[in-house]
Structure 1
């Protein structure tokens, strides 16, 4: 083996474009479960579904009163100026303006939150 062979071997070993070859793993044939085990599995699945449905019926849907209070406040007389400015901004954006309505949105959200907070605390106490 000459110097040239050694250099070639080193280059082939370190080259990023070299191909790593691996043997394919032989797949083992899978056995199908017997009919009895299929029936048992189906029965177990049905029982689990019935239990989940019973659990869902027992749990009551919890409704967050904050969302409804804030929506009522957004539509109230108190937040009408902020809502008006937000709606005007949205209309300008829809007509092609390149501005965003983040500031107006935050003003409206702040107004709704300030309006709803005392009502929410009264409900929670």
Structure 2
């Protein structure tokens, strides 16, 4: 492929991820509950990264087969 190659296809990953998010409602609710729980933290030590990554792991698990099936 040359350096001047033009890609005309739109990236389908964001759309596929959006379609998968409804499958991960439980993980999203756990993340939002954590965010609410730590709002009053003044130490700066509390975080919800585990729940956040669990949500995106679920989305990725749903999206990956769909993305790879569309690759040429």
Paired position in structure 2 for 1:103: 50
- Tell me the CA shift for residue 61 of structure 1: 6.3
Name the residue aligned to 1:121: 68
The unaligned stretches of length 5 or more in structure 2 are 1-5
The 2-side partners of 1:87 and 1:100 are apart by 11
| Partners of 1:82 and 1:117 in 2: CA distance | 18
For the aligned residue pairs, the C-alpha RMSD in angstroms reads: 2.0
The CA distance in 1 between the partners of 2:48 and 2:59, in whole Å, is: 16
- Matching residue of 2:20: 73
Gaps of 5+ in 1: 1-58
Give the Cα–Cα distance (whole angstroms) in 1 for the partners of residues 20 and 66 of structure 2: 10
| Number of equivalenced pairs | 64
Matched, 1:87 2:20: no
